[in-house]
Amino acid sequence: MLNKKDQETYSWQMDLPGFGEREQTILKNTTALVTRVGGLGGPVAQSLVAAGIGKIILAHKGDLRRDDLNRQILMSSKWIGRPRVNCATLTLNNFNEDIEIISHNDNVNEDNIDAIISGADIVFSCAPLFSERFVLNNACIKSIIPLVDCSMYAMEGRVIPIVPGASQCLRCIYPDEPTHWKRKFPVMGAVSALVAQIGVIEGIKILTNFMPPNIGSMIAIDANEPSIEKIKLAHKNINCKTCNSISP
């Protein structure tokens, strides 16, 4: 149930067609896992908090560096050397004191994912590495949790909303890790933030169904043109080693 403070805080959002107290209450009762709090995950977490998500789990290993500051908008130049998840938690709680935040100073891997994902209703993958994206994909398929896979490179981005059993999974699209993918790549913070916002909007659609979510599609964002294109994906890959045991 929404209290008076919630009703005032989210009154502009609840003016959206199809989005009322029911949808806002769903967000309040939702726990979202956001992996990494960098150029993509930072704005994802920020917009989820602003939208009124009840609880957020953050996972990102390591301390803030100066070369993070062109894109990691939850940080501060005064906090270089501090753990990024602590900085993100401080910024998010400063924005909205009612949001519960659990932080892990670690990146997801096969050993820790079960503990980190515990209690999550939806996952936003904002990891730069395919190894992490695959770990999240496996965990979401296994636990039947929706996954919004967000990725970007230079002036382009991709958002893939995945609902286990109802859409392709990440392994259907990428059976193997692309060999050309590198850890460091060009990023303009405005582009990673743009991709993040599309991911949050798709996640809110999946959670509340206030508009039909784009399940079964990949959203391709090109900041050069600019364009946002919805690319319909083929049916599930029957040879997919991750999701082929899930029906239909």
Site residues for Zn ion per CB under 5 A:
169, 171-172, 240, 242-243
DSSP strands (E only) in the chain: 31-35, 55-59, 100-104, 122-125, 147-153, 156-162, 217-222, 227-232
Q: Which residues contact 17 (CB under 8 A, 6 or more apart)?
A: none
**Residue 218 C-beta: closest distance to Zn ion, Å:** 14
Locate all alpha helices (DSSP H) within 101-188, ordered by sequence: 113-117, 130-143, 170-173
| Residue with Cβ nearer Zn ion (102 or 173) | 173
Q: Which is nearer to Zn ion, 31 or 237 (CB)?
A: 237
Considering the complex, what minimum distance in angstroms separates the CB of residue 227 from Zn ion? 27
User: In the complex with Zn ion, which residue's Cβ is closer, 172 or 195?
Assistant: 172
Query: Which residues lie below 8 Å from residue 208, measured CB to CB, with a gap of 6+?
Result: 19, 22, 23, 26, 27
* Residue nearer to Zn ion on the CB measure, 71 or 171: 171
Q: Residue 85 CB: number of other CB atoms within 10 A?
A: 23
Cβ at position 159, least distance to Zn ion in Å: 17
Parallel, antiparallel or unpaired: strands 217-222 and 227-232: antiparallel
Closest to 183 (Cα-Cα) out of 42, 83, 63, 36? 36
Least distance to Zn ion, CB of residue 143, Å:
15
Least separation in angstroms between CB 228 and Zn ion: 25
DSSP state of 221: E
Nearer to Zn ion, 23 or 149 (CB): 149
Nearer to Zn ion, 133 or 171 (CB): 171
C-alpha count within 13 angstroms, C-beta hemisphere, residue 94: 8
Nearest approach, Cβ of residue 132 and Zn ion (Å): 17
